Structure 1
Amino acid sequence: MSPARRRASAATDPALRRPVAPMLAAPVDVVPEAPGLVHEPKWDGWRCVAFRESDGVYLQSRAGRNLTTYFPDITWAIRTRPPGMVLDGELIVWERGRTNFALLQRRVTAGRGLLRLVHDCPAHYVLFDLLVDAGGEVVLDLPPSERQARLEQLLVDAPAQLTLTPQTADMQQVSEWLLHWTVAAGIDGVVSKRLAGRYEPGRRGWWKFRTRIVTEAIVGGVTGGIRCPQTVLLGRFDRRGRLRYTGRSHPLTADQGAALAGLLSPPQLPRRGTVAHPWPQPLPASWSGRLDRPEPLPYVQVDPTVVAEIDADVAFENGRWRHRVRYARARSDLSVYEVPLLLGKEETYFGDLG
């Protein structure tokens, strides 16, 4: 297709009409190594497709939600770029040199305090792909290296809020990212892409490796039932001895559920001045930590005496894992008082990197 026809098709191509389904990454257990691959940090933020339209800017979330009003700092920065282009990247907020997902979420709930939040905690848009070039030329079919080169050119002299993500084919550099950037900068893994191939909206044509930890938490509730648990609700004690909710597991296997069922029991009857269980019923929707909140979660409360070994990623903020963890097994050899404490914001501990 000629450049002129590409520009003419930009306004009518269904793949580019809002909302656009961004290209996705399939999860893998190891970073793939092969000729023809390039790797990028997996930023801990919100996926965002940005449309630089003739009369302004439109920011779209991965799920198609309109994020424009929550990020006036980013829309201003994109307005400095030529109209017609469509960008793909990640919205993040830095705090003391590390990404802070909680500050990103506050954009949605800030209300009248949004402008103050923008001033105190400005966002950044880390870009990693170009779907439509300036002037409306669709570039989905171009090799990633050409899209990257054009994107880099578009960002010359751009405001600091717009930045290009690093890329490398060097596995030693990838190891450096995973070893040092995970904790220091707040990335939560690596995304791997083919050097050849088109941008395919909605398709899982990339790969994502999440840095994971093995640690422990306390079983405070289950979905399904005590005798047939389906997922596990987890907690940790804080410094005052209160059991705080920290996250939920993926569905258990039949064997895991059967083994755990034999260890669970209902909450003990409360003593005077105490409550039988420290968590509300149902579990509040806001506890999920997601942008698009689900409904409140009914669950079965259990006596918090069972320790679970879990496999989790490092997206742990405000005392909770944002993504579901993988339940491994019950640790009958451990007391609940041997589980790591839920510490303050400055000392958050989520286990040993493995």
Structure 2
Amino acid sequence: MENDGWRCLAFVRPNGVYLQSRQAKDLTPYFPDVVAAVRESLPPGTVVDGELVVSDTEAGSTMFPALLGRITAGRRLAREAAARPANLVVFDVLADAGDDLTDLPLRQRRSRLENLLAEAPPTLTLCPQTSDVKLARTWFDELGVTGAEGLVVKDLAGVYRVGGRGSSWWKYKRKVTVEAIVGGVTGAIEDPRTLLLGRFDGRGRLRYVAGTVPLALSQRQEIGRVLTAATGVHPWPQPLPVAWIGHLDRREPRQYLQVAPLLVVEIVVDQAYDRGRFRHPVRHLRIRADLAPTDVDPCRPGPH
């Protein structure tokens, strides 16, 4: 199961616990609740791989913005952690009390992990796993409402590969297509590298909702022929603020070229949507010349 959270390695050291993001950033100060649970439950020399999540118990789903809230809480961190406790959903173990397990097949690592977490508190959750294809399909179809983005399929004989999935992991994410309005580009207007997309809110303001992955050459040529440079006041600032982009590892505002918000495109998105934006880069599918910007579904409320 792939959850809607932050990938995290937890290292249990003789002098304390260290939480590390996928980008090798130190997350330890922001999750004292998880640090305490790991320290109390796992022996020194243990390293586990998992995902940090914050759950909305009333809605039965995860709250990704609450993870970002930990980073920006400052002096409010203790209050934020008490109001919205975090969990580490653990799906693999790299070391057990100093014993390196990375060369063991997944089935053996899973057995060791289950033993490690047998008496762990709810803050440390064992990620569900099954070899039943029918059950996995049921999870994929029914658990999207909880914030699960899809399934991760692993080879039970596969060893742990540091720094990447290698050939023994496959991700199946829930995808849909939607429409959005091109409000800006990176690259050149006549040869855009990526598209910056928006949707109108209830007040008629164009809100930034996503950026695309790099376009294929044929897409760049097709879109470049129909874009028009913006004139006058544009609805977005230049550059785009870091807070709009919403990436933990991006610290600089994004420079871009403003275009007249006239072109509607169809994009492929996953369900990671919060604060009025699609959190992950989206994929451009096609131009929707049959639609006007006012035909696009409105943006759900966001902070900017």
Letter in 1 for 2:257: V
**1: CA distance between counterparts of 2:16 and 2:256?**
46
Give 1:285 deviation, angstroms.
2.3
1:71 matched to 2:31:
yes
Alignment of 1:160-309 (within 5 A): 160-182=122-144, 184-205=145-166, 206-269=169-232, 276-309=233-266
**2: CA distance between counterparts of 1:293 and 1:262?**
31
- Report the equivalent of 2:71: 108
3-state SS in 2 of match to 1:246: strand
Structure 1 residue runs without a partner (length 5+): 1-40, 270-275, 346-354
Larger Cα Rg: Structure 1 or Structure 2?
A: 1
**2: CA distance between counterparts of 1:52 and 1:343?**
41
Letter in 2 for 1:210: K
Give the share of equivalent positions with the same residue, in percent: 49
Give the TM-score taking structure 1 as reference length: 0.81
1:268-318 per-position Cα deviation (integer Å, ceiling 9, x unaligned) = 44xxxxxx2110011122222111124222111111111011011111111
3-state SS in 2 of match to 1:151: helix
Alignment of 1:28-177 (within 5 A): 41-81=1-41, 82-95=43-56, 96-134=59-97, 136-177=98-139
**1: CA distance between counterparts of 2:265 and 2:278?**
15
**2: CA distance between counterparts of 1:50 and 1:167?**
20
Q: Is the 8 A contact 1:190 1:210 kept in 2?
A: yes
3-state SS in 2 of match to 1:310: strand
Q: Is the 8 A contact 1:286 1:293 kept in 2?
A: no
**2: CA distance between counterparts of 1:286 and 1:168?**
38
**1: CA distance between counterparts of 2:210 and 2:219?**
18
Structure 2 residue runs without a partner (length 5+): none
Q: Is the 8 A contact 1:309 1:330 kept in 2?
A: yes
**2: CA distance between counterparts of 1:200 and 1:228?**
38
Give 1:85 deviation, angstroms.
1.0
1:248-268 per-position Cα deviation (integer Å, ceiling 9, x unaligned) = 111112221221122211224
1:165-203 per-position Cα deviation (integer Å, ceiling 9, x unaligned) = 011122222222222211x11011111111112212123
**1: CA distance between counterparts of 2:31 and 2:294?**
43
**1: CA distance between counterparts of 2:290 and 2:14?**
64
**2: CA distance between counterparts of 1:295 and 1:56?**
32
Give the TM-score taking structure 2 as reference length: 0.94
Alignment of 1:297-336 (within 5 A): 297-336=254-293
Moved more, 198-207 or 309-318: 198-207
Letter in 2 for 1:230: R
1:20-68 per-position Cα deviation (integer Å, ceiling 9, x unaligned) = xxxxxxxxxxxxxxxxxxxxx1111111111112222111111111111
Letter in 2 for 1:149: S
**Which gives a bigger RCO, structure 1 or 2 (Cα 8 Å, sep 6+)?**
1
Letter in 2 for 1:55: N
Point out 4+ residue stretches in structure 1 off by more than 3 angstroms.
none
**1: CA distance between counterparts of 2:293 and 2:24?**
42
**2: CA distance between counterparts of 1:108 and 1:321?**
20
3-state SS in 2 of match to 1:230: strand
Moved more, 168-177 or 69-78: 168-177
**1: CA distance between counterparts of 2:300 and 2:252?**
28
**1: CA distance between counterparts of 2:278 and 2:262?**
21
**2: CA distance between counterparts of 1:295 and 1:117?**
26
Give 1:143 deviation, angstroms.
1.9
Letter in 2 for 1:120: A
Give 1:83 deviation, angstroms.
2.1
Q: Is the 8 A contact 1:48 1:89 kept in 2?
A: yes
**1: CA distance between counterparts of 2:111 and 2:165?**
23
